[in-house]
Structure 1
Amino acid sequence: MSELRIRGLRKSFGGQPVLHGIDLSVERGTLLALLGPSGSGKTTLLRLLCGFERADGGSVEIDGRRVADDNLHVPSEQRRIGYVPQEGALFPHLSVADNIVFGLPRTQRRARHRVAELLELVGLPAEFGARAPQQLSGGQQQRVALARALAPAPTLVMLDEPFSSLDAALRLETRQAVASALAAAGATAVLVTHDQSEALSLGHEVAVLWNGRLIQTATPQTLYQRPVTCALASFVGEAVLLPGTAEHERVRCELGELALAAPMGAGAVDVMLRPEQIRVLRPDETIADGSAYEAVVTDVIFQGQDAGVALQLQSASRTMVRARVPGYLCPRPGEQVRVTVDGKVTAYPRG
């Protein structure tokens, strides 16, 4: 598979800028999750990479071969890119096998080239090749769509929110199967999604588009723990934000003096921590340094394996925070508890 290099890519529609000078690199064999809210430009970027749209400026290189710049637009069929759309878009009048080989040369179509191998790769039995797409579940159809995209041995695979139409249980099963198939094929892939958990669980790296600009590219762990802005912190998972004062490696807020994930200058900041960092102590539990704070449980959302707990700190400001606790330790509304913070936190200078 290939590497992808994007430099200064721009696109407008009707005079309205959609992408503002995108720079992005995807290394060979990497699954990059392209994450962003609706309207951020994700699908436009994917269409430019596939050659479905022409860029206004900038360049795209696939494995060192330039396919787009100010004076060049290589047609989509010559870019050797596999494309998996949202709904799979299988042909209902063709069998699964004929769908898989649809984009191959005629002799390979007649020979059902690699059909059994590709079905095995995406976790489906070989006998599914004789079935009609309508006889498969939604998740199975998406796997067939991936097999079709992989059949011509493309240089890159582009997946445009391929799990968005599936229910929660089927979505999890299908995305795990798709990730395994891409890894087994050694594919370089770009997954477009607005689902944060999907991006964090599937991507080797996650690139975040925000209002047509690429604002952060990082590993899933770095993106979640150290997002570059408060707004991004609230988009990538649930964030607890508290006013505080920072100085180098420490920050002080209503939950005590906490360690910073990255040193920063002294001054007023917004402190960001994740709900699972706020630990609700058991009645008999003690903290070595005594840094536990009184709070009252105001609401509980029980979700089985864990629970979201709304807490009112018993400080002068009566600040509300949210914690996430294991389901078996779920407190009751009205209960008085003590809380402490685990791990390092991120802070943002207050403007």
Structure 2
Amino acid sequence: MSELRISGLRKAFNGCAVLHDVDLAVQPGTLLALLGPSGGGKTTLLRVLCGFDRADAGTIEIDGIRVVDDNLHVPTEQRRIGYVPQEGALFPHLSVTENIVFGLPRTQRRARHRVAELLRLVGLSDDYAQRMPQQLSGGQQQRVALARALAPSPSLVLLDEPFSSLDAALRLETREAVAEALAATGATAILVTHDQAEALSLGHEVAVLWEGKLIQRAAPQTLYRRPATRELAAFIGDAVLLPGIAENGIAMCPLGRLQLVAPVPNGRVDVMIRPEQIHLLSASETAADHSTVQDALVTSITYNGRDADICLQLSSAAQSIIRARVPGHRSPKVGERVRLSVDSDVIAYPHR
């Protein structure tokens, strides 16, 4: 287990800044999910960490050893980093065993060092050892790529969107296997992804890189419940943003009087509510917690199976369209009149 420290890291291509003074510390044994939209700088940061690209400024330390500063660029092969690319990138002419031991010293390659152990670690049996990459599914190839990255006992493991090419069911199965393998080794790891669910479910912590700047780092639940900006709120998950007035920790908005979970200056605000916080009640029901209830008309429904997205028109505000999310089996009908209540506290951003 190793600690990673990045300070003031900058990188530009052809005069266009991609990383802006990035500061980041990852504690030993932590799996950090690095989340952000495409073009936000995630892959560039990974490439600089690996040594594939040179930093323009800043420092990087891995397990207390400096590998990057203004006058230092330690070669990739000397950084003790395990790297798992998007497509696995296995050598097609080598067997699974030969792929796993490829980066090891010659004596360890001949001894097939730790192959059986590593295969079991990533959830594959010994039977896979002599298979060729083309005989593996996409998820199996990604597991072999992780085994290859773990073979030299690296100080740090970097995963660059390793599940992006897999279908939904295989993606879930593979990422669970990868998470278990990383936890079993106690590896310090960074997972780069633009998939919000993936980042929130896998990361012990999530850091968001936005236009080359690290704008928030938090535990997954905190990041989802209290995103730093309204843009991040919409990126992390579906967000209902409503105009309101904040006063002494309370926000008044089209959905009533709501408690704010974080302080905000008094005045005009945009109130952020997650769709699943909005509960649908029948016309005769009252909210269990006696919260404010608003009447609404169901205007459309998108049925997703286990849940449904409901579009609603508030009776009290002609221009207010609200989106709620309910369990699929509790989906109402278009044209039905319902009552709405908001569960839990909400956050707000100063209006601009």
Is the pair's TM-score, using the shorter chain for normalization, greater than 0.5? yes
Contact 2:26 2:32 in 1 (8 A): yes
- The corresponding residue for 1:237 is 237
Q: Deviations over 1:271-309 (max 9, x none)?
A: 001000000113553225362111111111111111111
One-letter code of the match for 1:92? P
- The corresponding residue for 2:39 is 39
Counterparts of 1:289 and 1:45, CA distance in 2: 49
Q: Deviations over 1:50-86 (max 9, x none)?
A: 1110000000000111000101000000000000000
User: Which sections of structure 1, spanning at least 5 residues, go unmatched?
Assistant: none
- The corresponding residue for 2:250 is 250
One-letter code of the match for 2:285? E
Contact 2:11 2:17 in 1 (8 A): yes
Secondary structure of 1:40's match?
Answer: coil
**CA RMSD between the two structures:** 0.9
- The corresponding residue for 2:218 is 218
One-letter code of the match for 2:192? V
One-letter code of the match for 1:174? T
Counterparts of 1:207 and 1:145, CA distance in 2: 24
Match runs of 1:162-181 below 5 Å: 162-181=162-181
User: Which sections of structure 2, spanning at least 5 residues, go unmatched?
Assistant: none
One-letter code of the match for 1:344? D
Counterparts of 1:317 and 1:225, CA distance in 2: 28
Secondary structure of 2:228's match?
Answer: coil
Match runs of 1:79-158 below 5 Å: 79-158=79-158
Identity %: 70
One-letter code of the match for 1:300? I
Q: Deviations over 1:76-120 (max 9, x none)?
A: 000000000000000111110110010001111111110000000
Q: Is 2:67 the counterpart of 1:67?
A: yes
TM-score (norm 1): 0.98
Question: Offset at 1:263?
Answer: 2.0
The alignment of Structure 1 onto Structure 2 pairs a total of residues equal to 351
- The corresponding residue for 1:282 is 282
- The corresponding residue for 2:330 is 329
Change (3 A) 1:290 1:278: closer
Match runs of 1:258-277 below 5 Å: 258-277=258-277
Contact 2:254 2:317 in 1 (8 A): no
Question: Offset at 1:152?
Answer: 0.2
One-letter code of the match for 1:225? R
One-letter code of the match for 1:168? A
Q: Deviations over 1:210-265 (max 9, x none)?
A: 11111001111011000000000000000000001112321110101111111222
Contact 2:207 2:216 in 1 (8 A): yes
TM-score (norm 2): 0.98
